[in-house]
Amino acid sequence: MDAYNITIIVGSGIVAQEFLKILEERDIPTGRIRLLATHSSAGSVVHFRDQKIIVEETTPDILDKNDGIVFLTATSDLTLQIAPIAKGHGSFVVDDSSAYRMDPSVPLVIPEVNATDLEWHQGIISQPNCTTTPLVLALAPIHATNPLQHIVVS
């Protein structure tokens, strides 16, 4: 299996720690790992496997063609600025903000439910918010057996 160059933006917080934990637990082969964050977090050190990763400041010119997969866990404003740049370098962008959730040209993906939508991505995919994802995961098998017509969530 190829090693993946992974860039995580905003890479100094809890979400980034979970990304790194999952990479470790699943023994995902990694090449370059980059963590990008705000100016105030830049320079901090994060440990992953046998390496020390220095968090870099997120700026429009920080990304390059070696950022293979870019996970954006930033604000929608920063995502709308950075995602097209990453895509332009050939990166595969996974957006966790609301920036692209309603964009019909960007697949909204929960891999366990609609992984086939990955086939038509154009460099960026989005994911539903943190409350929608577990709800859809629970409802998908019910819908497959008995198609749901309407759901009210309070």
pLDDT single digits (tens) 99-139: 999 999 999 999 999 999 999 999 999 999 989 999 999 99
Report the pLDDT value the prediction gives residue 13, as an integer from 0 to 100. Answer: 78
pLDDT of residue 10: 86
Predicted TM-score of the model (pTM): 0.90
Question: What pLDDT, on a 0 to 100 scale, did the predictor assign at position 138?
Answer: 95
Is the per-residue pLDDT at 154 higher than 90? no
Check pLDDT > 70 for residue 148.
Answer: yes
pLDDT score recorded for residue 2 = 86
Q: How confident is the model at residue 11 (pLDDT cuts 50, 70, 90)?
A: low
Q: Assign 83 to helix, strand or coil.
A: helix
What are 28-69's pLDDT values in tens digits?
999 999 999 989 889 999 999 989 999 999 999 999 999 999
- Which position has the higher pLDDT, 16 or 108? 108
